[in-house]
Amino acid sequence: MSVKKNVLMLHGFVQSDKIFSAKTGGLRKNLKKLGYDLHYPCAPHSIDKKALFQSEAEKGRDAAKEFNTSATLDEVYGWFFRKPDSSNSFEIDQKVFNYLHNYVLENGPFDGVIGFSQGAGLGGYLVTDFNKILNLTEKQQPALKFFISFSGFKLEDKAYQGSYDKAIEIPSLHVRGELDAVVAESRIMALYDSWPQNKRTLLVHPGAHFVPNSKQFVSQVCNWVQVTINKDDQEQDDLPEAEQEQFDRPQLDDDLLDMIDSLGRL
């Protein structure tokens, strides 16, 4: 009997569990072939989408396009909000942690965490010490095996910096779009740089602020999961320095893409 494998999916700002599920259909289908069930919690903070971009300077901006969300009247949510008079400072309400604690108990344990935008920012913070932050025992939630961030960023508030200073042992894949105008490249790279060199990979796609759903791109992400899960930690540590660098370059080069693709397309 196969062991059930679960992935925690954290949606972006002005999204919801349903919206994020719809926008990651290709990824969900292909991870399903690898034996993973994707679980989509919904952030507890409701957002008035009509109230967004109401200032004179912001008028004309399209929330659905900018946040890769729904243009319909679907309810939308967020994990946290900016502090007043601050562009990049956030405070996460304790009820978010309590909600995710209960969600893990009811739907986990989880093998990995995948997030988009604000959800990836939250996920990147959580995986620095997942069990401690969510008050979970090792029996309730064994060690995570991977983390994937789509347009994720490092939380910049001083209250959270101590967590990033620890040696993060969970392998991570950080994905950014070359045309992303919502999350600056510097913020994405700050999260990427929080990981040790042998535990991080950066993948760049030519699009904007969204989770790419093309067959080729989804195959690369899923094959990275296979490489990561199948590679023993000790084997990774023993890789020659030149080979390790393939995983650390700002973009995946042709040699690494060929290696990932050689595992077989999904």
Q: pLDDT higher for 158 or 189?
A: 189
Confidence bin at 266 (pLDDT 50/70/90): very low
Catalytic residue chosen out of the listed positions 163, 194, 209, 219: 209
Q: Per the domain annotation, does 149 fall within a domain?
A: yes
Residue range 134-143, pLDDT digits in tens: 999 999 999 9
In three-state form (DSSP H/G/I as H, E/B as E, the rest C), the secondary structure along the chain is CCCCEEEEEECCCCECHHHHHHHCHHHHHHHHHCCEEEECCCCCEEECHHHCCCCCCCCCCCHHHHCCCCCCCCCEEECCEECCCCCCCEECCHHHHHHHHHHHHHHCCCCEEEEECHHHHHHHHHCCCHHHHCCCCCCCCCCCCEEEEECCCCCCCHHHHHHHCCCCCCCEEEEEECCCCCCCHHHHHHHHCCCCHHHEEEEEECCCCCCCCCHHHHHHHHHHHHHHHHCCHHHHHCCCHHHHHHHCCCCCCHHHHHHHHCCCCC
Q: Please determine, for residue 179, whether its predicted confidence score (pLDDT) is greater than 60.
A: yes
Q: Per the domain annotation, does 81 fall within a domain?
A: yes
CA distance 147 to 205: 18
Q: Is 174 a catalytic residue?
A: no
Residue range 11-56, pLDDT digits in tens: 999 999 999 999 999 999 999 999 999 999 999 999 886 655 443 3
Catalytic residue chosen out of the listed positions 117, 163, 172, 219: 117
Confidence bin at 95 (pLDDT 50/70/90): very high
Residue range 103-128, pLDDT digits in tens: 999 999 999 999 999 999 999 999 99
Q: Per the domain annotation, does 169 fall within a domain?
A: yes
What pLDDT does 83 receive?
A: 76
State the number of CA atoms in the 13 A half-sphere of 10 facing the CB: 33
Residue range 218-238, pLDDT digits in tens: 999 999 999 999 874 445 445
Tell me what the pLDDT averaged over the chain comes to: 82
Q: Is 209 a catalytic residue?
A: yes
Spell out a b/e string for 10-21, using b for 16 or more CB atoms within 10 Å of the CB, else e. bbbbbbbbebbb
CA distance 44 to 192: 27
Q: Per the domain annotation, does 225 fall within a domain?
A: yes
Q: Per the domain annotation, does 13 fall within a domain?
A: yes
Number of domains in the chain: 1
Q: Are 69 and 61 in contact, with CB atoms under 8 Å apart?
A: no
- What percent of the chain is predicted at pLDDT more than 90? 65
Region 244-256 average pLDDT: 38
Q: Per the domain annotation, does 127 fall within a domain?
A: yes
Catalytic residue chosen out of the listed positions 16, 111, 151, 180: 180
Confidence bin at 59 (pLDDT 50/70/90): very low
Q: Per the domain annotation, does 111 fall within a domain?
A: yes
What pLDDT does 239 receive?
A: 44
The CATH number covering residue 36 comes to 3.40.50.1820
Q: Please determine, for residue 58, whether its predicted confidence score (pLDDT) is greater than 90.
A: no
Q: Look up the domain containing 74 and give its range.
A: 5-261
Q: Per the domain annotation, does 266 fall within a domain?
A: no
Q: Is 180 a catalytic residue?
A: yes
What pLDDT does 231 receive?
A: 76
Query: 135, 134, 99, 114: which is closest to 36 by C-alpha?
Result: 114
Region 3-9 average pLDDT: 92
Angle (CA) 17-169-183 rounded to 5° is: 45
What pLDDT does 158 receive?
A: 86
Q: Are 137 and 101 in contact, with CB atoms under 8 Å apart?
A: no
